[in-house]
Structure 1
Amino acid sequence: MQVFRLSRKKYAAKLSGKGAALSGNRWNSKGVEMIYCADSRALAMAEVVVHLPFYLLPQDFEMLEISIPDILKIKTVSQKELPEMWNRFPHHPKTQLIGDHFIRTNEYAVLKVPSAVVKGDFNFLLNPYHKYFKKIKIKAHSPFIFDSRFFE
């Protein structure tokens, strides 16, 4: 399976989860390391641009193509398991508990969750502590230029 991640260039060479741990996000509490990925390049971009106005977006992004071996089992969170308004901001504490539990139990290397930004698409959360995490590889990365029409 191939997933995507839009990352600042200085962080693109390594998958660590440290960035997510700094402030906490929808699927992790502050201090809990995990790597957020998307099922498409477009979703990876959308997941970044919802956080900043276009004129504040840094221009040093890279699109990472990440390979997840088919032998790794993926845990899936269904829409039915989520509380009402799970996709609103600020983040619902239950979604953070789900992600924290995924990391803490360390049973899976990958957690598939619905995207809060694009209904019908999915994010893939990677557990940097799982014993098979090293099998997940950055296959390629290349500079990502936002279309100039975003800034008009």
Structure 2
Amino acid sequence: MLVYRITKAIYADRLVASGGAARWNQRGEFVIYTAATRALACLENVVHRSGEGLQDTFRVMVIEVPDDLRIEVIGTDMLPTNWFDFQQYDACQRIGGEWLRSGRSAVVKVPSAIIGNEWNYLFNPAHPDFRCITLVGTEPFVFDPRIKT
């Protein structure tokens, strides 16, 4: 399976996590966020960057997850009502943190808070199976200047 991550070009040559807080992890928990499609990766950037910095130089990271690698799934049925609201970040962070600490899998599939029935894939770089995940390559990516927030 291929997944995608759009990042500033200076960070696109390796799979690393910043340890910054996000929906599924607290600050200091190292998780790599990817999306099922380039389009979803684009929207994730637009939403989280609030339109700032979209003129920088970006690349799409094309990442391969082996088909036989275990992927845990956190479905919407496992989440609180309105889990996608900013006010629910702490609940999602607890769930993601529990997955990370459990070591059950190197990858977890989580629902997109931006588009229903779309999925993001998170990586635990400390998991032994993470070494099986490979950066296949990168592609130039330019945000269309018509994108406004």
Normalising to structure 1: TM-score of the pair? 0.92
CA distance in 1, matches of 2:91, 2:67: 29
Asked whether the equivalents of residues 25 and 91 of structure 1 are also in contact (C-alpha less than 8 Å), the reply is no
SS in 2 for 1:16: coil
Q: Distance in 2 between matches of 1:105 and 1:55?
A: 35
How far off is 1:5 after superposition?
0.4
The residue that corresponds to 1:3 in the other structure is: 3
CA distance in 1, matches of 2:128, 2:49: 35
Among 97, 105, 110, the alignment partner of 2:94 is: 97
Question: Gapped runs of 5+ residues in structure 1?
Answer: none
CA contact (8 A) 1:74 1:111 kept: yes
Which of these residues, 110, 115, 118, is aligned with residue 118 of structure 1? 115
1:51 alignment partner, SS class: helix
TM-fit CA distance, 1:119: 0.9
Contact 2:82 2:88 in 1 (8 A): no
Aligned to 1:14: 14
Distance in 1 (CA, whole Å) between partners of 2:53 and 2:126 is 33
CA, structure 1 residues 53+104, in 2 after alignment: closer, same or farther (shift >3 Å)?
Answer: closer
Deviation of residue 58 (structure 1)? 4.0
1:62-103 deviations in Å (ceiling 9; x for gaps) = 101100001111000111110111101245211101111111
1:25 aligns with 2:22: yes
Gaps of 5+ in 2: none
Decide whether aligned partners of structure 1 residues 17 and 55 sit closer, same or farther in structure 2, where only a CA change above 3 A counts: closer
Query: Counterparts of 1:48 and 1:145 in 2: how far apart (Å)?
Result: 12
| Residue 77 (str. 1) matches residue 71 (str. 2) | no
